[in-house]
Structures are given as structure tokens and as C-alpha cells.
Structure 1
Amino acid sequence: MNAIRLTQYGTGGGCSCKIPPGELEDLVAGLTPPPSATAGRILLGIDQGDDAAVLQMEGEGRAIVATTDFFTPVVDDPYDFGRIAATNALSDVYAVGGEPVIALNLLGWPRGVLPLELAREVLRGGSAMAQVAGCHLAGGHSIDDPHPKYGLAVTGLADPGRLLRVDAGEPGLPLTLTKPLGLGVLNTRHKATGEVFPEAVATMTTLNRDASRLALATGIRCATDVTGFGLLGHLYKLARASGVTAVVHSAAVPYLDGAREAIRDGYVSGGSRRNLDWVSPHGDFGDLPEDELLLLADAQTSGGLLVAGEIPGFPVIGELVPRGEHLLIVK
């Protein structure tokens, strides 16, 4: 079983297998239902592309956070795949300022192709991260699927008056990034060569819990996480929703070791190129080389938080300014 490479059994891998952002927005446009007599009030939903749905129940001092996330293998090790997928799903709750309380497994497995013992390792990895997060993991759903897939459906709680949202950015706020970039190109290299990048695995299995709590403690109200649409894609959505322009200082952006070498050697996913194509009409990128822009648009899996505000201990990579001709400026 050690010779089985999970990344060879699925198209794409990790958050790079998402439907491209432009296509996804067209797909969900107009699907928000009108207000109804349904209990509670939606505080965050799909209008601005927030990371999770948040529902406030009448008479309740806390809001319910609901999200789900799953994808095909991003690494070959099944236990690490489970940990990464679970961490990524839990991140959607932290990205809106919530705390996860209970999760359900989502598993697709080619049972006639890959041993069920590997699926058990995937589930064990997910369970390990739920335990780290202090989140119950109880059951879930599985299907016989041609391609292995794993993730979680997560329910959490949040203070409705202290949410992190993509439409709350204001001119003058600095931009903070809580994890280095480069996960996409390193995962693409891993899929192509089998080379393992322990720093990338450690980054993808680090919860965004502490960063989220620090952001709330410092009064920050605007944030998102950086996943399949890359830094530029998620920042574009934040700037558009907040009615501001985002400025990125490329020299200040941190990268994982080996990321620049991977891009130099051509390990770029199709998702990263689509991300750059999507934001380019809305950006002023000066004379930055394409490799630099592809790194900024690199499709991340279980990336960090992008915060409109300053969090001690994390790098400031830019700022929000009054809205101008372009929504994104990269210097």
C-alpha cells in the first residue's frame, strides 16, 4: 500500500480542482432565495462569496455557522490527505470568526480500485484534526466514486456582532497574510514527481484558529481565507465587495521554500492560470513578470487568512485604498 500514489487517482487535486471562479459566479448568480418565513436570519451567504453561511436565530445571542468543503487528493499519504482536507474545511468557520463544534465526514472512494484500508487512514487523519480543533466528528456520508474525495460538513457558532466578512474592508486598513504562499506549485510538483514537501504539509495542517481569534481580539471585521482562487482571486473578491482598491507589495509576500524553484520549473496548475486570467482585467500589475503573478494567483489548499487589519506576528503585505480605476494594484 505504501507504493500507491493517491494523487494519481483524481483530476486536479486539493483546492485547485475547484470550478473556476468566473464560471462559479455565473453558476450561482440569482440563486439567493427571497426572504421567507423560515426561522432565523441569514447574516452571511453567497451574495459576496463569503467563506461560510451564518444564520442568527431569533432571541439567540449566538449565530450558527455552516459550511462544507471536499476535494480530490492533494498528497499521496492518505493520513495527511485526511488531515489537510479536514483542516481546510474547518478553516471556513474560522474565516468568518466562528468556532467549529460538530462536523460530518464526506467520503467518495473507488472501492474496487483502492483498498479500503487507505480510506480508513484518510478518515483517521480527518478525525485527528477535528480533535485538535476541539470539534466533534460524528458520522457522515460515503459513496462509491471513481475518484477519491474527502472533506467535512462543519457546523460552528459565532458572535453575530463580531463576524469576519469580505465586505467590511475600508480604505487605510493594512492587509495581513497569516500563511506563506506556494502551496499550489509545491503540490503540483509533488503530484508530478512524488517529491514530498514537509513544510507544505505542515502549513496545510495548521488550523487558522489562532489567527482568527487574534483578528477578533484586535477588533478586525474583514477577512477571508486564501484557497483555490489564490491570493489575487480572494483579494479581488474582498476589494469588490468592500468597494475599495487593494494594493499588494509583492516583495512583502512570504513564500514557502521551493515555491520559486517549482514555478521556474513549470509546475503550475491550470487553476492558477485561470485565477490570473480572471483577475487580470481588474488589475494593474505594472511590469511584474508572469511567474511572480502566477505565484500570487497560485491556487492554495488550506491556506491562511487574508485580513484587513494588522495581527501581531504576521506579515503586512499591502493595504486598502479608496476605490480607483483598478480593484487590484500589485507593485
Structure 2
Amino acid sequence: MTAPAPFTAGAANPFVLRRLLTTPVAGPLVALVLASVFFAIGTDQFLSGGNFSLILQQVMVVGTLAIGQTLIILTAGIDLSCGAVMAFGSILMARLAVHQGWPPLVAVLVGLLACGVFGLANGLLVRAVPLPPFIVTLGMLNVAFALTHIYSEEQTVTGLPGPLTALGRTFPLGNTDITYGSLVTVALFLGFAYALGSTAWGRHVYALGNSSESARLTGIRVNRLTVSVYVVAGLVYGIAALLLVSRTGVGDPQAGQTDNLDSITAVVLGGTSLFGGRGTVLGTFVGVLIVGVFRNGLQLMGVSSVYQTLVTGVLVILAVTVDQLSRKGTR
């Protein structure tokens, strides 16, 4: 009887390496590592627990928005209203708790519900009318922006009660202080990674993004599914609103004005295709970290914020170009 050939790591490595390199998150992960190495060489302050904690704090709000944005882009849509919806949710929570004297937890729930209603309106307009997601969410951006300024009376809300700022507090982890909000963001990424990768709802979202008509022919209720994606995204924006007031300690009507573009940037850098049907939430997390690392590293090196924006724009163009070329290569 012939003994089976012994397993050798070298024989398996080419297959494993090929699988790793063809995953959507591989390219963004390599970019993140290279950027980290570059800034570690360029500044002594980069490689420290405190700085890594700061990066997480700086990206937790946009990162949470990017989760909802990922869900919508996976369906071949886009959401330009997410930052404005988050701002409205944050002002609503703050004013109900401070000016109206509502219990903080009730104020938070109402804020979450309001953001979910915006998502519901977006989803219904996209599917029931139907209208292009770009037009719907562009209009909703203006609606949410106007309502935020009308309701807030252009005033920043201060003196928030403890429960609204609790996620902005820190706890020690070794010699580094970590915010509870950062843990919430990481938990959301892990939760939605599981939902998209291991549930029927997640598989249907990918099917919808690949081809709405094919998804319908397989028995997927595409209208209901689309609305559910926008509602879930809206609720995620509500969580981002809570993280925003927790981090800043105020309800600011001017908040979130460019966060919609930042969230799209993170999604694209994370390898999610703007054409739908391809990408992962964990890739978006890497994309968020790429944005955070570049801005943090350039700031530590004393580079002007204008050039930080320039670098981010170049990265987005490169990411979309790679996505377009890869799509042509698979046809």
C-alpha cells in the first residue's frame, strides 16, 4: 500500500496566494499596509497606540455611514443624502433631550426612527415610482439639510445629557485609551459582514446588484428587498448620528456636509464596485482606514489639508479605474 504524499506548504502556497490576491479586499489591504509603512518611516509619532486609537475615533462616524452606503452601492444604487440624514438625526436627538426634556434613550430612539423614515422614503421613491437613486438621494439631501436648519433654528445644541455622550468616553486597553464608539463601529462592520456573507438577505442583496431582472426571475421580491436595504441604511445613519454627538458633545446643524462624499470614497477604496453586486463590508472597513491613515499620516508630516484632499481624490480615481478595468477583464 502506497503512503499518501506528504502535505507540503509549498504546494499549497500558490493556490492560497492566488485566492488571497483575487479577493476584492486584497488590493485595499495591500494599499493600507504600504501607506502605514510609509508613514511609519516618515514620522516617529505614527506607530503608537494613542495614534491608532485617534485614527479609529476620527473615522468611526464616516465608517458607520459607509456601512449603509455599502449596502446601497451593492444594489447598484448610491446615497448622497446620508450625511444630511445623519445631521438631522443628531439634531433631533440633541434637541429632544435638551430642549424638550425627553428621556435621552427615548430621544435616541426617535432619532433612529427618523433616519429610518428617510431611508424608507428613499427606497419607496427608488422602487415605487421608480426614480434613479442619484436623483432621489440628491433631493433627499436637500430636504434633510433644510429640515435640520429649520428645526435647529441654526443653533448648536450644548449641554447634552450623559447617555448621549456615553459612546464618546474611553476605557484603557494597555497604555491606550479606546472609545466605546470605536468598538460599536467595529461591531457593526463585523455584524454586517456576517449578514451579507451568511444570510439569505445578504445573498439577495448581491443578486439584486448583479441584475435586478435576474433576481426577480429567481423569485426575489426586488421591490421589498430594495426598500429594506434603504431602511436598514437609514437606521445605520441614525447610529452614526449618535456616534457623532457622542464624539463632539454637541448637536451641530453644520455637521455631515461632506460626509456623504467621504463615505462613498471609503466604499470605493474598499473595493466595492459602483456598478453593484461586488464588494464586502470588511473591504469598506479597510477603505475607511486607508482614508484615516492617509489624513492622519499627512497631518503628522505637516502636509496641508488641501493636499490631503488631493491625495484622497487621486486614490478614488485609481480605485474606480482598477474596478472598471477588472470588469472589462472578466467579460
TM range (shorter): under 0.3
Q: TM-score, normalised by structure 1?
A: 0.24
Kindly indicate whether structure 1 or structure 2 has the higher relative contact order, using CA contacts under 8 Å at least 6 residues apart: 2
Higher strand share: 1
Bigger Rg over Cα: 2
Higher helix share: 2
Q: TM-score, normalised by structure 2?
A: 0.24
